[in-house]
Structures are given as C-alpha cells and as structure tokens.
C-alpha cells in the first residue's frame, strides 16, 4: 500500500505498518493522507486528520466519483488540505480510530470501507 502524507511518502506491506504510519502522522495534529494500492492509482482513500478527528474521502476513479464520510460530530472541525485550512461540517467528521479501521479494511480489499457510512459528492 502506498501512502502520501505531509511528512513524506511511505510504502507499507502490512496492516500494522500502515496503522503505525497513520498514528505517526497523527502526532502532527494536522495531516492529510492519500492511500492507494499503487502510487497515483485509483481507488484512493483520503484521510484528513486533526488530532483525534478525521474526515474521509474515497475516490473510485478519475472521473469524479467521490464519497465523503458521514459522521455524527457535534461541531465543525478544521483540517488542512494542500496546506490550506478548510472546515468540514460536523456531519462528515468521524473519530481517528474509525478512520484507521477504514484504512485497515481498504488495505485488505481496496474497496470503499463499509465500517462507516458514506455520502456521495
């Protein structure tokens, strides 16, 4: 699995390696991770991180088929995307632990994780 993040690029070969790298990225408070089976290949799971919160996007292809995580947060949360601060609505914010579960499932089958709900964008 290939991961691009604010701290660099990383290839991981096990779920534990991937989980460890995600947690390392989360130490920065803000990070964005682009996860795919191969570099620059679809599908792509994107995890925006702010401390213990995350917002996920799942890109099926390069034609614009995108899904966003459905959360039950209590407030809008700021994230960084391409070094710009963006605010995501509370209904798209999930816990980082749930985002990691999604990444683990994506590692196994490279499909849209079914451990959370998604909305089509």
pLDDT tens for 9-52 read 999 999 999 999 999 999 988 999 999 998 879 999 999 999 99
> How much is the pLDDT for 40?
78
> How much is the pLDDT for 67?
98
Q: How confident is the model at residue 66 (pLDDT cuts 50, 70, 90)?
A: very high
Across 65-69, average pLDDT = 97
CB-count exposure of residue 75 (10 Å: 0-12, 13-18, 19+): exposed
> How much is the pLDDT for 39?
84
């Amino acid at each position: 699995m290939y991961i691009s993040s604010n701290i660099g690029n990383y290839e991981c070969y096990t779920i534990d390696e991937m989980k460890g790298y995600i947690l390392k990225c989360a130490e920065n408070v803000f990070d964005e991770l682009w996860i795919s089976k191969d570099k620059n290949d679809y599908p792509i799971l994107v995890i925006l991180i702010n401390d213990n919160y995350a917002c996920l996007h799942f890109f099926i292809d390069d034609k614009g088929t995108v899904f966003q995580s459905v959360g039950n947060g209590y407030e809008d949360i700021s994230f960084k995307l391409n070094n710009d601060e963006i605010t995501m609505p509370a209904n798209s914010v999930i816990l980082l632990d749930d985002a990691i579960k999604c990444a683990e499932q994506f590692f196994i089958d490279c499909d849209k994780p079914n451990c959370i709900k998604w909305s089509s964008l």
